[in-house]
Amino acid sequence: MIRTMIVEDDPMVAEFNKRYIGEIKGFQLVAVSATVDAAIEVLQKQTVDLILLDIFMPGKNGLELLIYLRENEMDIDVIIISAASDIERIQKAIRYGVVDYLIKPFEFERLNTTLTAYKEKARFIKDQQVISQKELDRQFFHIEEKTVIEDLPKGLTNNTLKQVWEAISSHKEEHFSTEDIVKIVGISRVSVRKYLKFLTDIGVLRERIIYGTVGRPVYQYEINKSEENLIKKYL
């Protein structure tokens, strides 16, 4: 669970944000603070992973809390939710490493998108030991490498792709390896790898590398739920 704190002086806005957090799986609300000083007291007692932070508050403002976190090298991510829309404050928040910046008023869907993306990134970082340039670009710099493939590459067939996809879809674990699919489909490891590479190239699968006890890399995959429908045009 991602331990989350709301720092917001407006009780109504704080309550809305609290409800939003409750509607998105994977997040646990640990505290709500109305001032920066109160938030610092909480941080001295509890472990927090993420702060939803307002800027305009009585006493110290939200940017001062952000600076406090960075100066004290606290490993806490921050999403700004504020009416402050001037470029100076936005740039300052970005320079101090905020994950996202939402300008009030905002739609729930915008916050939902932000928190879902944050959860995906947190899960990715937890699972990953090394990272490819492609994943680094996608996860941290929001650069998507769009691969447009109209037809199946030479050597791949629709029937075998369908078998591989059915094997992937039926696999009980979230992550799977080439060997897992080989056992189900019954074709060679080399052939399965070609299909998994194709599915990764079009964005239907995500690939990660895990190093075993002997230092040999093992490739594991998971379905990219947001792009899963792309497979339909090839089946």
Say if CB 225 and CB 123 are below 8 A apart. no
The pLDDT of residue 144 is 60
Burial class (CB in 10 A: 0-12, 13-18, 19+), 12: exposed
Please tell me which residue, 220 or 165, carries the higher pLDDT value: 165
pLDDT for 146 beyond 60: no
pLDDT in tens, 2-11: 999 999 999 9
**Span 62-66, average pLDDT:** 97
Q: Report the percent of the chain where pLDDT is more than 70.
A: 92
With vertex at residue 60, the alpha carbon angle to CA 58 and CA 64, rounded to the nearest 5 degrees, is 145
pLDDT for 215 beyond 60: no
pLDDT in tens, 11-23: 999 999 999 898 8
Q: Set out the domains of the chain in order of their start, with CATH numbers.
A: 2-127 (3.40.50.2300), 133-234 (1.10.10.10)
CA gap 45, 43 in Å, rounded: 5
**Quick one: how far is CA 33 from the chain centroid?**
25
Q: Report the percent of the chain where pLDDT is more than 90.
A: 60
pLDDT in tens, 177-197: 999 999 999 999 999 999 999
